[in-house]
Structure 1
């Protein structure tokens, strides 16, 4: 059952109103009165529908007809949004065409803009859009007629409305205390610290409890305890989940404990993996946590645990599970049953997340009603956390009463499979957070994700659009993400604090909230075993695998005529399976995801994916990450709605010039495309591009023409200076929003230092990391002089935190390097600067913590010039100092030889 009604609709329809009122659209409509009339009619009718959304959301709880009406309206909202996006894209195309023609032909400047309305492409577009508008208005009229039979009231503000104005919070709640688990913690630690095992092998401690009771939290609590830290030679944590496969789990364990030491390939069979795992565990006392184990097959478990007995005595495995039969199969020690929290402990969890403290001392008027709310959490800490997050910052008694008395509590859990307290927390989310959260249902259970990628995906889907705001979309995305985090819908990953994940029950909640709109192939059996992608599906994801992609799509879409399928690593003749995408041709998201145990093997779904691209003409997000492709078809340029294109880790050599037709593109990721030589001839039309990720593209020859037109660009990880006219540094001047990390490659191609000055790097205060790279060694005095001038002109802003200089051919460094004004610089490296005879004077940088100097072969003496002016202690914050491959270094004049000044007080 889907219960998202208003989740997408209020935010989505408000977005439609904004688009209908946009100046670009209004200007375009002036050229066709019939289309203008149709859109005005659409806007008026939408207002009638929008007025009853709150009432519809309340009534859909018990009225299936209202719920079905909302589902239809939701699908319609997507379709009209696509049409409005076509209008916006066409308006932008005409604007760019006029600018280009006016710039290249003075005659065009004399031709009125209105004259372009009679061009064949314009006439063709208008005819097509009139037809679409006629159909869409007829469809909307039918929706309105259905509404009239549902007795929906206008302007009926639901109880949830007061919670939607809650200010965004950036507080981090993952580090809050763990309440009510001290006895449980001590009991598990006592078992861990005991030596030996009753059967002579590794001891296995099963922790069993219902979902949301805190099994994983308890295991993490124990895992990170100081007493446990020093007791084992190695520790590792593996999330198993429901998709149990002995080979997959074995590979995951091996990768987690042998990073950088064991070579794991996609061709390793189970026996080879277990041999390698035994080598890693042999004669070591280890602690392994197998979190969320569901497998009840004794033979499979026996196969998995074979390598573990080579460990030293005292080795332990903790298994968390919801299933008692699992614990009886795996356990060598008695099962530890984790009970629900006491009311007092639950109240502490709830108050910590709602009031920021573990008691009600400062808000006694809320204690009694808080106790009643907590009783409805039934001792589940996850429920107490999410409800507490819902009420965070709300101190009015009426707000808490609304939560306690909400009708959502009354829906039986069996009707949705979702704990009522979690359902309620979702119900009270602001509408803009509801659709962002529901979108996360594309992520499989236990999937680790980065904040940056999720924000870029939200942005591509149009979830971060705001009118009349000075904030950037990425800033709104950060606020939304942190708000979901503070409400415990998202939590930091226990192993890598830079990554995030969702609790299994929260993942179920996201799937339930998304309904048919989002389809994740990996999760299809978790909520509804019969669930399949439908015509209403707009967002699609799956886990990439090397060989089994074809069988996955066959299962999901019930595809016939699969012939000559070989599961041997060879090619398949089953490409007809993707014909199933005829049913989901309105997809906005095509998102393959990495499996947890991925070793970087390419996916062989390439031919299928590229073949269906023309059918998926409404895509906003397209990822071909690590697909084994050599080229991208020209048809990619027809995906005019596309905002996010990920080609990272592919083998492409060129991007087709048709990419320049993707006027709406916001993110282009070609990181680690080692073979990529050329982006495209001209990128000047990509005026909405905000993030160009090109790290690791070592074969890239130069930047495209008209880079200076990309005024929205925020991320430019690498700027490759070319030899041809138009690819020089001066193009950076207009890119005023650049931030984060920036690399300049092939600086030897700069022939005039004025080009470096034109880049105006000093004005770009949001760039915090800078790498300057020259390729090759030069003895040409003229070129050496140019390189010295270029480096001098590339003085960055004083906010810089990290600077790396590679291959610089000058004989000395400019004065700005080491200037005290660079007070934020913490990391500085010089590599292969072979013509320099003196080290730069960097001793007076106040916050410099890391300094590396390598392959400066003409350095013979290090002295006072290295330390600085001599008036203050040099290197006051330096912790790490590395010298490497200074082959002619003879003398280091120590500190204090001429002045009584110490130095390096923090060097370690």
Structure 2
């Protein structure tokens, strides 16, 4: 760059004391960073010495050693192996520590880590996209009855974060679930090397290139797609953000991609004719299990041919504002576990959604009037006995009958319920919501754009006895969240399990934080924004603020 050497900053490595301190903070978390065993201390300091004061080397290696904190023999083996690798292969201490951390991963975590190789350098990666890809390609097999494949995917991602191989960009406050992440350049270099060795991808100068043997492809606008028609082994194709949403190849180049399990074309922009051709090709992919067209411009209709995707497990159509019709033949997709139509242009979901017996997550369900026979009504959802997540919208045109009021209470596996009332003005909406009997095992509740002064009667600790997280947003008239008005017993409005609370854009909320804390003994995380009348909250209430309980 032609910069004078006197103006170049050379970052200093950690000295011996700081290196050991960093090591202890990661390795001995159970004892708050203190090593009480002289033998472990001796071996640990030798390992730290070989890391040459480089933080990344110390962190990644120590994150692995922390899982073997009671196994001195394992520590000695790592020390010997470290010396062998740096001597024989002339690796740097960082590369050696990364190599050791990778070698120590269980087989399934190695596979998940290598998936990061297809993302361009410095990419911010959405955790949901990763997990959906893993589920769609069949990497995750559900082993515990209470956990879905998606739940396990987030746990595996958290494990990679814990091992300092993946960095968190954004996470959910109350439980730490990762929303987005990224990878250090040196760790990415490692993943590209091993992904190439495993013949999963091909790279040139750190960037992915097309190869007949490629299994995964992160497609960017910089790539030449001429050879794509020869990539018959491709199992996952993800359109990267750097491609600016364009689909840069013709139908002739797509014909041979019939091994695809995962296809993510989110934010693609096409005219209606090109979109029809694209859908025609997509519907020929008999093995496709994950299809993401979220935010697609030009997608106006999901036609009857979608029934051909009989192996589809995840269909993501969120934020497709042009989408106005979803054909009823979607009810033929018996393997579907996730259907996301949130923030779409759809007026309703078609009748037959209740036939999707394996469905675990449904977003964008609109409650409509009974006089709309071609739509899916609330009562139909009682057939979805596997449902864990339901996000529903109510408008001034919605109707909840007496017979539908108990529907949610029948969904015993439902854990997450989100209701958006879209600023309904009629009081009948409040009356309809009061009819609902909530799911017995609900853990997360989201209520958005609710226009009334008090909450629905069932939002109280008696009805929601195991609720862990409550989110109230954009309540233009809400004054109180205290459920005592609906109960004569004081014990009935003590939230025993509520750990997280989110209060945003509730300008008329008139509560005292000191009083709220008394009814929320387990609360440890609170987000507040634009709640001007909330008293005694320790953070500013007119702008985003976060309170965390100080742990003993």
**If the length of structure 2 is used for normalisation, what is the TM-score?**
0.76
CA displacement 1:568-587 (0-9 Å, x = unmatched): xxxxxxxxxx4411321211
Once the two structures are superposed, the pairs formed by residues 415-494 of structure 1 within 5 Å of their partners are 419-466=95-142, 471-493=147-169
CA positional deviation for 1:469: 6.0
Tell me the residue number matched to 2:47.
Answer: 373
CA positional deviation for 1:654: 0.6
CA positional deviation for 1:719: 0.4
User: What CA distance in whole angstroms lies between the structure 2 residues aligned with 1:672 and 1:717?
Assistant: 11
Relative to structure 1, is the Cα distance of residues 904 and 375 closer, same or farther in structure 2, using a 3 angstrom cutoff?
Answer: closer
Which of 553, 570, 583 is the equivalent residue of 2:223? 553
SS at match of 1:493: strand
Within the alignment, does 1:662 sit opposite 2:335 as a pair?
no
Relative to structure 1, is the Cα distance of residues 645 and 411 closer, same or farther in structure 2, using a 3 angstrom cutoff?
Answer: farther
Tell me the residue number matched to 1:534.
Answer: 211
Tell me the residue number matched to 1:771.
Answer: 420
Tell me the residue number matched to 1:613.
Answer: 254
Tell me the residue number matched to 2:205.
Answer: 525
CA displacement 1:365-393 (0-9 Å, x = unmatched): 22333233333323322112111122222
Which of 464, 486, 500 is the equivalent residue of 2:181? 500
Which of 277, 288, 292 is the equivalent residue of 1:642? 288
The answer to whether the Cα contact below 8 Å between 1:389 and 1:486 also exists between their aligned partners in 2 is: yes
**Structure 2: unaligned runs, 5 residues or longer:** 173-177, 486-492, 496-500, 521-525, 542-552
User: What CA distance in whole angstroms lies between the structure 1 residues aligned with 2:532 and 2:58?
Assistant: 54
Once the two structures are superposed, the pairs formed by residues 199-598 of structure 1 within 5 Å of their partners are 296=1, 327-328=3-4, 334-356=7-29, 361-394=35-68, 395-406=70-81, 408-413=85-90, 419-466=95-142, 471-493=147-169, 498-515=179-196, 517-519=199-201, 524-526=204-206, 532-543=209-220, 549=221, 552-554=222-224, 578-595=225-242
CA displacement 1:486-516 (0-9 Å, x = unmatched): 1110112399985321111001011111116
Report the aligned-residue RMSD. Answer: 4.2
Relative to structure 1, is the Cα distance of residues 849 and 398 closer, same or farther in structure 2, using a 3 angstrom cutoff?
Answer: closer
CA positional deviation for 1:707: 1.2
Which of 791, 802, 810 is the equivalent residue of 2:433? 791
Relative to structure 1, is the Cα distance of residues 337 and 594 closer, same or farther in structure 2, using a 3 angstrom cutoff?
Answer: same
Tell me the residue number matched to 2:489.
Answer: none
User: What CA distance in whole angstroms lies between the structure 1 residues aligned with 2:404 and 2:349?
Assistant: 15
CA positional deviation for 1:768: 4.4
Once the two structures are superposed, the pairs formed by residues 76-225 of structure 1 within 5 Å of their partners are none
User: What CA distance in whole angstroms lies between the structure 1 residues aligned with 2:154 and 2:289?
Assistant: 18
CA displacement 1:414-446 (0-9 Å, x = unmatched): 7x9982222122112111111111111112221
CA positional deviation for 1:401: 2.5
Tell me the residue number matched to 2:175.
Answer: none
User: What CA distance in whole angstroms lies between the structure 1 residues aligned with 2:531 and 2:15?
Assistant: 55
CA positional deviation for 1:641: 1.7
User: What CA distance in whole angstroms lies between the structure 2 residues aligned with 1:874 and 1:379?
Assistant: 45
The answer to whether the Cα contact below 8 Å between 2:358 and 2:384 also exists between their aligned partners in 1 is: yes
The answer to whether the Cα contact below 8 Å between 2:112 and 2:134 also exists between their aligned partners in 1 is: yes
* Bigger helix fraction: 1
Relative to structure 1, is the Cα distance of residues 610 and 362 closer, same or farther in structure 2, using a 3 angstrom cutoff?
Answer: farther
User: What CA distance in whole angstroms lies between the structure 2 residues aligned with 1:733 and 1:419?
Assistant: 54
**If the length of structure 1 is used for normalisation, what is the TM-score?**
0.48
The answer to whether the Cα contact below 8 Å between 2:264 and 2:293 also exists between their aligned partners in 1 is: yes
CA positional deviation for 1:766: 0.9
Which of 337, 340, 365 is the equivalent residue of 1:690? 337
Which of 799, 804, 822 is the equivalent residue of 2:448? 804
Tell me the residue number matched to 1:167.
Answer: none
The answer to whether the Cα contact below 8 Å between 2:86 and 2:93 also exists between their aligned partners in 1 is: no
Relative to structure 1, is the Cα distance of residues 658 and 411 closer, same or farther in structure 2, using a 3 angstrom cutoff?
Answer: farther
CA positional deviation for 1:609: 5.7
User: What CA distance in whole angstroms lies between the structure 1 residues aligned with 2:261 and 2:250?
Assistant: 15
The answer to whether the Cα contact below 8 Å between 1:763 and 1:796 also exists between their aligned partners in 2 is: no
Relative to structure 1, is the Cα distance of residues 374 and 358 closer, same or farther in structure 2, using a 3 angstrom cutoff?
Answer: farther
User: What CA distance in whole angstroms lies between the structure 2 residues aligned with 1:817 and 1:358?
Assistant: 39
CA positional deviation for 1:363: 2.4
CA positional deviation for 1:731: 1.9
User: What CA distance in whole angstroms lies between the structure 1 residues aligned with 2:138 and 2:291?
Assistant: 15
The answer to whether the Cα contact below 8 Å between 1:762 and 1:795 also exists between their aligned partners in 2 is: no
CA displacement 1:179-228 (0-9 Å, x = unmatched): xxxxxxxxxxxxxxxxxxxxxxxxxxxxxxxxxxxxxxxxxxxxxxxxxx
The answer to whether the Cα contact below 8 Å between 1:843 and 1:875 also exists between their aligned partners in 2 is: no
Report the count of equivalent residues.
495
CA displacement 1:872-899 (0-9 Å, x = unmatched): 9999899778699xxxxxxxxxxxxxxx
User: What CA distance in whole angstroms lies between the structure 2 residues aligned with 1:351 and 1:466?
Assistant: 35
Relative to structure 1, is the Cα distance of residues 339 and 494 closer, same or farther in structure 2, using a 3 angstrom cutoff?
Answer: farther
CA positional deviation for 1:702: 1.9
Which of 371, 377, 395 is the equivalent residue of 1:728? 377
Relative to structure 1, is the Cα distance of residues 417 and 692 closer, same or farther in structure 2, using a 3 angstrom cutoff?
Answer: farther
* Higher normalized contact order (CA 8 Å, seq sep 6+, divided by chain length): 1
Relative to structure 1, is the Cα distance of residues 334 and 671 closer, same or farther in structure 2, using a 3 angstrom cutoff?
Answer: same
